[in-house]
Chains A and B, each alone.
Chain A
Amino acid sequence: MTGGTGPDARSAAIEAFARRHRYRPAEALPWLAALAGYFLFPGYLPLAAQILATILFALSADLVLGYAGIVTLGQAAFFGAGAYTAGILAAHGWGEPITGLVAAAAAAALVGFLSGLLILRSSGLTLLMQTLVVAAMLAAAANQASAVTGGDDGLQGMEVWPIFGHFAFGLYGRTAFFYCLVVLFLCWLAVRRLVHSAFGRSLTGIRENGARMRAIGAPVMGRRLAVYTISAALAGVSGALVAQTTGLVALDSLGLERSGTVLIMLIIGGVGRLYGGFIGVPLYMIAQDRFSTVEPVYWYFWVGLLMVLLASFARGGVLGLIDRLWPRGR
């Protein structure tokens, strides 16, 4: 794809672009691992379902952070908006899970769109603060509206109906596991398609140099707003999945800690690579499940140490490390 401008060069460029985004065998690995996990560790299905739902949350964060370059500390705003939407619906007599997911996605997307409209013109510290403040405002409002949200005690009395009226959410978490797996798979297909499209390439361009993208005529604000809204919808779906499969929604679903830990999990895996969450989330959540039951407070010491070490020595996370050990031709 160097030099020439004729039709040959054009089709060669299209061919190269398509080849770059073809499915690779390695991309089947997460799904095979999930299925293997189902058969090998049947006792851990509830945890596995939470991991799958959180991977979706990390995927939504990767979209804004890794592809659009928006450093956010408020992703929990959308997670919580989705969780509360699905939860409140289920607690007030509409426990149908799929429409619950759709409603959660719509509510979260609305929050994302409206807040994005206000804040996405900013950058740096101001933007970081504004994302944080949006989530903090929602948390304060949810705390206040305890008649609807249950406030500090969390939302009570969710009743989630069986999927398609047939697959009930049971004690062993089989339904929850496959529900989360299928939703994650569909969302992953959509996100993969999105980031490999012309739209996705323009996001990378905006991340790398917004001024130049504006100069070549790209609608920078519109693109940022679009991806922010899509990411919010995905985060909302993730929150709804957690709400429906655990039957619980608490105020911490809107908290700063949730926004922070999803970034950590994503960074452990690797940012801007689509698969960071698939590696980082299981590593983090399995380790947390193993170690934090003993003394949750000291768990945070080791997480903090890991974060400091990652920031200082291992930028790019696990996937970055793999890239450095086995460089691929790019």
Chain B
Amino acid sequence: MNSALSAALSVGFHGLAFAMVLYLISVGLSVTMGMMGFINLAHGVFAMAGGYVMTGLINDHGAPFAVAATAAAVAVALASIPVERLLYRRLYGGDELDQVLLTMGLVFMSGAAAHYLRGPVQQPLRLPHSLGGGVELGFGEFSLYDSLLIVCGALLATALWLGLERSRFGAQIRAAVDNLRMAQSVGIDTSRLFSLTFALGSGLAGLGGGLGSNLITIAPGYALDNLVYFLIVVAIGGLGSIRGPFVAAMLIGVADSACDYLVPQFGAFFIYAMTMALLLWRPRGLFGRA
């Protein structure tokens, strides 16, 4: 009995860490897709880029962990601005098919570019000694790395929520998601808002990809292989919300971790079946707007 309980705790803990990574990567996707109605299949590219920056800085240049994580977020956010301005912007409000084509093209290009620059092998994240071990929390021992992910994810989720609810910028984002035309006509510069939101979302994805690179390994196929997971989080959560992807990431992260432990062969199948059932029950996601 005791061992079952401790197994459940450790599975839940690990699932929570995975959920935080999924959340960091997907929240920006949810907000930008909700705001611009743009089907963006290339969001994983930014997470992958963050992963490469972070693992590269730590493994090749011995940069401190926190510096590398910050650099990953900032570099990806900055790099995403020209992508949005030059490529995405032309297709806002356009044909879904063109959006799928453009973003799938970016996924293919990024995979080949990553292969060219860093080779076909996985890039493991070399953790500093202080993060290598476990921590004793009275009811079991948990990996410090997982704990760090959970703490980071919880802090950022709170910060995002406060920012969206309390700041002027957050109010503008909510206005644009709710009613783009009305937001424009009351004088919100939505063009600038799009760019900033996109950069913020991409930066968060870069941070999530970097911090989580021991959970979702960084390799050239990253953006394509994990595309389904990021999209599932967004679709289940509901477009344009911040709470939605959080709940969805918790659900998927813990379910995935539990399936891995209980029925390792059927893990992926259960996640897909659960997604299908949730989407049939709530086609707009758990927190999507009608």
A303 pairs with B108, CB closer than 8 A:
yes
Is A254 close to B, CB under 8 A? no
A126 pairs with B87, CB closer than 8 A:
no
Q: Kindly report which residue of chain A lies nearest to residue B267, judged by CB atoms.
A: A140
Query: A121–B279 Cα gap in the complex (Å)?
Result: 11
B105 pairs with A304, CB closer than 8 A:
yes
A126 pairs with B105, CB closer than 8 A:
no
Instruction: Find A300's partner among B100, B111, B266, B284 (CB 8 Å cutoff).
Output: B111
Binary contact track B96-112/A, C-beta < 8 Å → 1, others 0: 11111110111111111
Q: Which residues of A contact B232 (CB under 8 A)?
A: 129, 133
B268 pairs with A271, CB closer than 8 A:
no
Known: A263-B101, A308-B109. Contact between A144 and B269, CB under 8 A? yes
Segment of B127-135, B191-199, B223-231 in the binding face: B223-231
Tell me the residues in window 134-177 of chain A with beta carbons closer than 8 Å to chain B beta carbons: 134, 136-137, 140-141, 144
Binary contact track B71-87/A, C-beta < 8 Å → 1, others 0: 00000000000000001
Is B168 close to A, CB under 8 A? no
Is B262 close to A, CB under 8 A? no
Q: Kindly report which residue of chain B lies nearest to residue A299, judged by CB atoms.
A: B112
A304 pairs with B106, CB closer than 8 A:
yes
B115 pairs with A128, CB closer than 8 A:
no
Instruction: Find A310's partner among B90, B101, B106, B284 (CB 8 Å cutoff).
Output: B101
Q: Which residues of A contact B96 (CB under 8 A)?
A: 71, 124, 128
Is B241 close to A, CB under 8 A? no
A256 pairs with B279, CB closer than 8 A:
no
A129 pairs with B109, CB closer than 8 A:
no
B108 pairs with A300, CB closer than 8 A:
yes
Count residues on chain B whose CB falls below 8 Å from chain A CBs: 48
Is B272 close to A, CB under 8 A? yes
A133 pairs with B272, CB closer than 8 A:
yes
Binary contact track A281-302/B, C-beta < 8 Å → 1, others 0: 0000000000000000111110
How many contacting A-B pairs (Cβ < 8 A)? 129
Is A264 close to B, CB under 8 A? yes
B276 pairs with A301, CB closer than 8 A:
no
B91 pairs with A311, CB closer than 8 A:
yes
Query: A266–B156 Cα gap in the complex (Å)?
Result: 42
Least CB distance, A276 to chain B, in whole angstroms: 12
A301 pairs with B279, CB closer than 8 A:
no
Is A243 close to B, CB under 8 A? no
Least CB distance, B87 to chain A, in whole angstroms: 7
Query: A271–B280 Cα gap in the complex (Å)?
Result: 29
Least CB distance, B52 to chain A, in whole angstroms: 16
Query: A263–B100 Cα gap in the complex (Å)?
Result: 9
Query: A264–B101 Cα gap in the complex (Å)?
Result: 7
Instruction: Find A130's partner among B109, B265, B269, B276 (CB 8 Å cutoff).
Output: B276
For the A-B complex with A126-B279, A132-B228, A307-B101 known, give 6 more contacts whose Cβ atoms are closer than 8 Å: A121-B283, A126-B285, A300-B108, A304-B111, A306-B105, A312-B90
A residues in contact (CB < 8 Å) with B: 65, 71, 73, 118-119, 121-122, 124-126, 128-130, 132-134, 136-137, 140-141, 144, 256-257, 260, 263-264, 267, 271, 297-301, 303-308, 310-312, 315
What are 7 contact pairs spanning A and B, CB under 8 A?
Answer: A126-B279, A132-B231, A297-B115, A301-B116, A304-B111, A308-B102, A308-B106
